[in-house]
Amino acid sequence: MGADRSDEGRVPDGVDVSVPSIARVYDAMLGGSENYASDRAVAQKIQGVLPISKESAWEHREVLARGVRYLVEQGIDQFIDLGSGLPTVQNTHQVAQAANPAARVVYVDNDPIVFAHGRELLAGDDNALVVTADLRDPGDVLGRSEVRELIDLARPLGVLMIGVVHHLGDAENPGAVVRQYVDAVVPGSFLFLTHFQAAPPVTDEMEKVFLQMLGSGRFRTNAEIAGFFDGLEIEEPGVVEIPLWRPEKPASESSGEGAPSRLIAAGMGRKV
């Protein structure tokens, strides 16, 4: 969890810190400091239901880095990171630019605190920026002038939806949201997506915690997650638990109801 400290003086204008934020809860899970009491309460509740959820959060961060490195190897040099969350470690632009210094990255999040801290992190980097926008409105996101100045939609790019689609409820038609981004990019582009994976009965209780305290957080079946890649050419090894998605060291397939590997699935698809 984030360190005990006063929240006074750290709140951007217009932010109600009594309401937990998805980005800040995730920051708390990773042991960050950019979170508040309401966020830590949710993170603690999640860990109370499933103590290994913090380890799962770190596995999630590591699969993001693996995915970005893989995309750079495929020749991708521009990325849109949707629902990016707060800066932590192995941020998309850092991973991409370590492999290709010319790589360009746009971060998109609807939390103004993400914008404030992202702007600080990216100061002096002309190839990366953060915008405050709602990813549920692809037309607005992709039509932003600052986005279009950095991202060329006439060239292949990587669309990253890491740990965000599960925060879209069924009524918000997440499949249609994903499809709009896929339709907007040219062939040769990739979608890299991770999603909470249903593993009853453990995840039933976790889903209740997310929905009650955050108002979002759906655990979907592997088949439902795979459906987000309809029409795309799925990269190996398919839609699998995150430790098994292109591991850079031998991965041991965890087992049992509480195994971290059963909580989140990852997949990547190429538009042909």
Q: Each residue of 20-29: pLDDT tens digit?
A: 777 787 778 7
Closest listed residue to residue 226, CA positions, set 237, 216, 217, 215: 237
The secondary structure of 127-195, three-state, reads: CEEEEECCCCCHHHHHHCHHHHHHCCCCCCCEEEEECCHHHCCHHHCHHHHHHHHHHHCCCCCEEEEEE
Checking if the pLDDT of 192 tops 90, the result is yes
pLDDT confidence of residue 6 = 40
Q: Which region among 26-40, 84-98, 139-153 has the lowest average model confidence (pLDDT)?
A: 26-40
For the chain, give the longest Cα–Cα distance. Answer: 51
Answer whether 95's CB lies under 8 Å from 67's CB.
no
Checking if the pLDDT of 176 tops 80, the result is yes
End-to-end CA distance of the chain: 42
- Determine if the pTM surpasses 0.85: no
Checking if the pLDDT of 234 tops 90, the result is yes
Q: Supply φ then ψ for residue 143, to 5 degrees.
A: -90, -5
Residue with tokens 């991202």: 151
Residue with tokens 């860990």: 47
